[in-house]
Amino acid sequence: MTDRLTIALAQINPTVGNLPANLDKLRGVRARAAAEGADLVVATELCVSGYPPEDLVLKPDFLDAVQRGVEALAAETADGGPALLIGAPWRLDPEARAPLRGKVYNAALLLDGGEIRALRTKHHLPNYGVFDEIRVFAPGPLPGPVNFRGVRLGVMVCEDMWFPDVAECLEESGAEILVVPNGSPYESDKSDERLQLAVERVVECGLPLIYVNQVGGQDELVFDGASFVVDAGRNLKVQLPEFVEALSITRWSRGPEGWSVESGDQAPPGSGMEPVYRALMLGLRDYVTKSGFPGIVLGLSGGIDSAISAVIAADALGPERVHCVMMPSPYTSRESLDDAAELARLNGLRLDEIDIGPAMQAYEGMLRPLFDSLPPDTTEENLQSRARGITLMAISNKFGPMVLSTGNKSEMSVGYATLYGDMCGGFNVLKDVYKTTVFQLSRWRNQARPADALGADGRVIPERIITKPPSAELKPDQKDEDSLPPYPVLDDILSGLIEQEASIDAIVGRGHPRETVNRVWRLLENAEYKRRQAPPGVKITRRSFGRDRRYPIVNAFKGPG
């Protein structure tokens, strides 16, 4: 009987759909783990396909390719090296053909000794928030342990750890170590929740638990890794870093009380703005690089939203891949021109200046016969914004960088942005970041620089950009506060309406005037049509716009007041 085990935790960053690259990544970690004498490498949920693969798993050709890849990888384990516990979408009946709905499982497969030794299927399919697994997967039965070289491993896939029944069933059927491959997306403060759930399972079963999470960005989701091991005595024995790939070797021995693990890597999670910033950086980096863009282009206005977007982009991609364009109109202040130039200088970013005055005049001239003597209004303001959008898209078309849009969550909530204007772009790193958090992130970044950032050190955002009142500068002396409540008030009301789904009465009870709360609710509901056309962006909160929060566009319910 085996009394010692060396288990490698492979916190990897797969790319959805890139099967050859994902399989090679698994080969790479296995080779490194073999050099450390590992018996087993535990990788992340659905790491062969990348997570979440969504409707890709309904394509027979995709499943055939996954199966061929897994079988080839299994054959390689005949070399006597470590076994692999991997995740892949899987048909139990390989002959199953379209329609595949209800016939595909979210599976964990143990590859050892040249073959697929065991397969377990996810029992609890998450189907809330951003998750849609019931749409594409069939739920597996409550699992029993997997026999690995004489050790009974209790394999449960991600959501299976969030309920007591799977761990209980595994323990009752003789599991010795709980092993959890995950695709658990980042949300601020979620790492505490995961650890708490893991400890609950450990306490209920009296078994140690290995938690291995994916890392990297996938569309709107970013996975933070932060894998860990908790021993049977509830001690956190191993903690992997956040937001980077990692391979951690853990050494186990069996005693009279069961399996114990030596203390290993200890990378405590960051606090405050650091993890939020790193989530944004990784989400943007992976969106841009996995999509194959050479870099990004953005409008740099001298305001804080475009400033922090540019700095995050420089940190994520390197300053040489960030192209800034200042596009002044007659309403652009000297201050804004200077602030944009100073931000570009501090961060080593390319800055071009393109005057949109001629485009404004051209459009106003073209429309004059139609508009006749009607007074100027938001129509003319929006033309400026759209002239900027057209200019940025032209640069994208000509040179290839993706347009980064800059609207923050407060603006996206109330529709304070122009369709086909400042909303135009491929991705928006601030989409789920409230304006008050934009200020906090900017102050934080001026004092700290993440170790994996590629941008400049020191003060990267001029102080005046942080302290001046936000303005769209679309007409003389315009300030955001002329149209919206002050951002601390707006954001508190919005977080009540969005994150907490609180009633108007409850938000009024927090000290806000009813009239203001009702107005914000109406703005929020009326802007759904804009959000549906907005670029995707990194999810960092419990309730991001997109899949997390699904409201009808045509919606006659305008609230109680």
Ligand X SMILES: NC(=O)CC[C@H](N)C(=O)O
Ligand Y SMILES: Nc1ncnc2c1ncn2[C@@H]1O[C@H](COP(=O)(O)OP(=O)(O)OP(=O)(O)O)[C@@H](O)[C@H]1O
The tally of CA atoms less than 13 A away on the side-chain side of residue 156 is 31
- Shortest CB 388 distance to ligand DND, Å: 7
Nearer to ligand X, 101 or 542 (CB): 542
Chain residues binding ligand DND by CB under 6 A are: 378, 381-382, 385, 415-419, 421-422, 472, 474, 483, 529
Q: Using the rule CB under 6 A, is 544 a contact of ligand X?
A: no
Q: Using the rule CB under 6 A, is 171 a contact of ligand Y?
A: no
> Which of ligand DND, ligand X, ligand Y, none is residue 181 near (CB under 5 to 8 Å by kind)?
none
Which residues is 108 bridged to in the sheet? Answer: 87, 120
Bond from prior residue into 485 cis (ω within 30 degrees of 0): no
Hey, which bits of 389-499 come out as E strands?
A: 402-405, 427-428
Q: Are 242 and 275 in contact (CB under 8 A)?
A: yes
d(Cα 376, Cα 313) in Å, to the nearest integer?
A: 36
d(Cα 146, Cα 92) in Å, to the nearest integer?
A: 17
The CA-to-CA distance between both ends of the chain, in Å, stands at 70
Which residue of 11, 13, 121, 471 would you call a contact of ligand Y, by CB under 6 A?
A: 471
Nearer to ligand DND, 381 or 492 (CB): 381
Nearer to ligand Y, 213 or 436 (CB): 436
Residue 502, token pair as written in the block: 């609180």
The tally of CA atoms less than 13 A away on the side-chain side of residue 266 is 6
Within positions 416 to 435, which residues make up the interface with ligand Y, using CB under 6 A? 422
- Shortest CB 415 distance to ligand DND, Å: 5
Q: Are 88 and 71 in contact (CB under 8 A)?
A: no
Within positions 319 to 338, which residues make up the interface with ligand Y, using CB under 6 A? 325-328, 332
- Shortest CB 286 distance to ligand Y, Å: 22
Of 23-31, 123-131, 262-270, 300-308, which segment contacts ligand Y by CB under 6 A? Answer: 300-308
SS3 446: helix
Q: Is 411 annotated for ligand binding? A: yes
Residue 237, token pair as written in the block: 């024995």
- Shortest CB 30 distance to ligand X, Å: 23
Q: Is 382 annotated for ligand binding? A: yes
What is the crossing angle of helices 487-497 and 435-447, to 10°? 120
SS3 207: coil
Query: Which residues lie below 8 Å from residue 219, measured CB to CB, with a gap of 6+?
Result: 287, 536
> Which of ligand DND, ligand X, ligand Y, none is residue 162 near (CB under 5 to 8 Å by kind)?
ligand X
Which residue of 82, 89, 126, 302 would you call a contact of ligand X, by CB under 6 A?
A: 126
The residue whose Cβ lies closest to ligand Y is 303
Q: How far is the CA of 502 from the CAs of 283, 410, 498, 548, in angstroms? A: 29, 17, 8, 16
Nearer to ligand DND, 215 or 412 (CB): 412
Which residue of 76, 96, 132, 162 would you call a contact of ligand X, by CB under 6 A?
A: 162
114: DSSP letter: T
Catalytic residue, chosen from 45, 133, 187, 242, is 45
Q: Is 441 annotated for ligand binding? A: no
Q: Is 25 annotated for ligand binding? A: no
Q: What does the binding site for ligand Y look like in residue numbers (CB under 6 A)?
A: 298-301, 303-306, 325-328, 332, 388, 406, 422, 470-473, 480
Which residues are catalytic, by number? 45, 122, 158
Q: What does the binding site for ligand X look like in residue numbers (CB under 6 A)?
A: 45, 126, 131, 158-159, 162, 183-185
